[in-house]
Amino acid sequence: MKIFVTGMCGYIGSHTAVELLNQNYEIVGLDNFSNSKKETIDKIKQITKKDFKFYEGDMLDKNILTKIFKENKIDAVIDFAAYKAVGDSVKNPIEYYTNNVSSVLNLLKIMKENNVKTIVFSSSATVYGNPEEMPIKETTKTGNTTNPYGTSKLMVEKILKDLYESDNSWNICILRYFNPIGAHKSGIIGEDPNGIPANLVPYVTQVAKGKLEYLKVFGNDYNTKDGTGVRDYIHVVDLAIGHIKALQKLENEKKGLYIYNLGTGKGSSVLDIIKTFEKVNNIKIPYKITERRDGDIATCYSDPSKAQKELNFKVQYNLEDMLKDAWNYEKNSQ
Ligand code: WQD
């Protein structure tokens, strides 16, 4: 099967490309390098010893999408290409809705024109807003999102649902990620955000490396075990494998629209992350408690049972593995 991977050089895209190639899928990649690096292409080839076609371009450019579908017999699409910084989305809503929603409309139009109707879509736990129940199930109410990033993901989920309602020959899997962290065991690819990291773990690894002076802990007055924010951290390689499981579901079972949480079901606080990182890597992480960050919620972790049951998806890595691998990547990178 030939899989078109949009945003292939990004954090999740690159790790999924490795797992796809490891499982002998053929892939065609696309990236505009807005939040990734060109050298990731060769890193994926270095890890897998496999070759693949790659196109540099933007999902908002219909011509590049038309060209890709004309030059390659695509069987399915995994769509990662999106901006994903919550804080940034609050400051730049037009860019976020244009990039995250219009690009998917372009993609779906070209897929339909080429009669390619199988897609795995990268969504996010932010579609649950401030969740009304914990742990979060796929049936937990979505909406009341607290930022344009989360709202853009919710909009695309609605587009996909309406598309499926209009034509049941589409085959769609929506994956709602919790908090992906860690890196490929080789240390060759990992989370490498442009600029100062918005997310916790890449910020911690840059403090460990001495690139940043100390970690700001955004509030310790939440209603959680130690007052700091609790999240469901999942190893990025586990997350990548979850995409293979989703593809296999779409390949082997009746056409449909499926939605799965991809998480571990375990909640870890910011202080848990600091303590665990210090323990497994034997490095002190200086931190200061500061004000809460706008848009943050106290607690967010998944009930992963639906993906376990229907995708036969079980995570292999624990928090110690994730933080060891995250540091291993940071140590090896510039
Ligand atoms: C985690 C915890 C912060 C940074 C977002 C998106 C989600 C996904 C992952 C794309 C929170 C605290 C953080 C720091 C801190 N993105 N924190 N100091 O906000 O849970 O999720 O990123 O797929 O969709 O919503 O992740 O890593 O930013 O924050 O104290 O410097 O760490 O308050 O409790 P978040 P995060």
- Active-site residue, 214 included: no
Q: Residue with the nearest Cα to atom 14 of ligand 1? A: 200
Q: Exposed (0-12), middle (13-18) or buried (19+): which is 91, by Cβ within 10 Å?
A: exposed
User: Cα separation of 27 and 288, whole Å?
Assistant: 44
Tell me, yes or no, if the pTM score tops 0.85. yes
Per-residue confidence (pLDDT) for residue 76, from 0 to 100: 98
Q: Residue with the nearest Cα to atom 10 of ligand 1? A: 84
pLDDT of residue 334 exceeding 80, the answer is: no
- Report the separation in Å between the CA atom of 327 and the middle of ligand 1, taken as the mean of its atom positions: 18
- Report the separation in Å between the CA atom of 199 and the middle of ligand 1, taken as the mean of its atom positions: 5
pLDDT digits (tens, 9 = 90+) for 2-16: 999 999 999 999 999
Higher pLDDT, 332 or 193: 332
Tally Cβ neighbours within 10 Å of residue 221.
11
Q: Residue with the nearest Cα to atom 11 of ligand 1? A: 229
Q: Which atom of ligand 1 is nearest to the CA of 293?
A: 33
Q: Residue with the nearest Cα to atom 1 of ligand 1? A: 200
pLDDT digits (tens, 9 = 90+) for 23-38: 999 999 999 999 899 9
Chain centroid, CA 53 distance in Å: 22
**Under 8 Å CB-to-CB from 149, ≥6 apart: which residues?**
83, 84, 85, 86, 88, 89, 96, 100, 124, 126
pLDDT digits (tens, 9 = 90+) for 235-268: 999 999 999 999 999 999 989 999 999 999 999 9
Q: 3-state SS of 43-58?
A: HHHHHHCCCCEEEECC
Measuring from each residue's beta carbon to the nearest atom of ligand 1, which residues come in under 6 Å? Answer: 84, 86, 124, 126, 177, 179, 198-200, 203, 215-218, 229, 231, 270, 293, 296
